[in-house]
Amino acid sequence: MVDVLLGLQWGDEGKGKIVDYFADKYDVVARFQGGPNAGHTLYVDGKKIVLHQIPSGIFHEGKTNLIGNGVVLDAVTLKKECANVAAFGVDYKKNLYISERTHLILPTHRAIDKASELAKGNEKIGSTLKGIGPAYMDKTGRNGLRVGNLLDKSFTTEYIKLRLKHQKILESFNFQEDISLWEEEFFEAIEHLKEFKIVNGEYFINEKISKGQRVLAEGAQGSMLDVDFGTFPFVTSSNTISAGVCTGLGIAPQKIKEVFGVSKAYCTRVGSGPFPTELLDETGETIRKIGNEFGSTTGRPRRCGWIDLVALQFAIMINGVTQIIMTKADILDTLDELKVCNGYKINGEEKNYVPFQMNRVEIEPLYKTFEGWNADITACDTYESLPQKMKEYINYLNTFLGVPVKYISNGPGKNQIVSA
């Protein structure tokens, strides 16, 4: 049996904490897509750590953690991340496995990413410049190198062949930067990577399932960044939705049971791209400051806005979400008034759907206004103890979305979660 936990917005929904909270109920935690552009924040013994590629179950004794074939892996970032995990006294090599089909991010992928983004000028998509897009391009173009290739004597030869192909692309961008230090780091990290348990991921995870073990598939980024269904072209390069679990881990659709969708009580977005409910005023700045809304991977200030139920309903539909987990509800504690987007006016006409290409149409969000609850909810430990005004807010979401908010995160602490 496989449960899926993924983001329903533009990423940064607080998935890391939620996976960490649920991990004890599962035997396996597996990443199925994305790369080091993910930033899942956890607090271990009161200390903050951000995981980019390692599954968020790594701090739970006896839990198997798998980096699946749908991920693109940066060996340099992984090496640094492992050192951070080891500083907490965790033997990461004991329970961390990597699928041999996982594609590698090369130094030239990072260079191409940077050159491509610079060439776009004012039309930048807001890439994290970590080589993720070019790595996925090589995967679909059947050029990429995979973790399993590390065990082959011809790896260096294959690397040089691919590097020469990449060099031609870089020359077309007139990219002149020296990446020799990146390559030096890469080959040092590759030696470190060879020490891991490299497995046939699809057989590995299906054997666990057949033995009755419970698997939690951990998503990265958010549904509105999905390469097919997100706000294209301002999207990531992978399928972030629940369908990506099947291709990113090698499991059949009927093995999936629950789909947990994570959403903030408001909305944020990093980088460029459409954001209908964005607040460019004092309220938006207040949410950013109270919520500490700065990217855990890039450090960039996040754009903030009201919760968008049209986009949320769309994400619920394409994912088959069965339960909603609302995060950072406490950030709204001091606001006198809250707004919920329950419709769009697109080119002057009222609509209740996400258009083909958001950035090509004029969208005016339609709002329902709620009175704020003006109470500190961080100490609440039952649904009954939450303010009545907050319950009204949640009840409206439940009715509109047709899927219940089952858990509410009311603070950064691991156990600051209220069951509805």
Question: Which entry of 3, 12, 113, 226 is annotated as an active-site residue?
Answer: 12
Angle of the 107-119 helix axis to the 132-140 helix axis, nearest 10: 110
**End-to-end Cα separation, the chain, in angstroms:** 24
SS3 of 189-253: HHHHHCCCEEECHHHHHHHHHHCCCCEEEECCCCHHHCCCCCCCCCCCCCCCCCHHHHHHHCCCH
Q: Kindly report the CA angle at 217 between 212 and 222, in degrees rounded to 5?
A: 160
12 given a catalytic annotation:
yes
DSSP 146: B
Separation CA 345–CA 153 (nearest Å): 59
Could you tell me which residues come within 8 angstroms of residue 410 by beta carbon, excluding any fewer than 6 positions away?
329, 330, 377, 378, 380, 416, 417, 418
DSSP H helices, 104-194, are 107-119, 132-140, 155-172, 180-193
Cα dist from 52 to 14, 44, 71, 108, 346, whole Å:
13, 16, 11, 20, 37
336 given a catalytic annotation:
no
Question: Which entry of 3, 20, 40, 60 is annotated as an active-site residue?
Answer: 40
Contact between residue 406 and residue 417 where contact means Cβ atoms under 8 Å apart: no
5 phi/psi in degrees, rounded to 5:
-125, 120
Which positions are catalytic? 12, 40
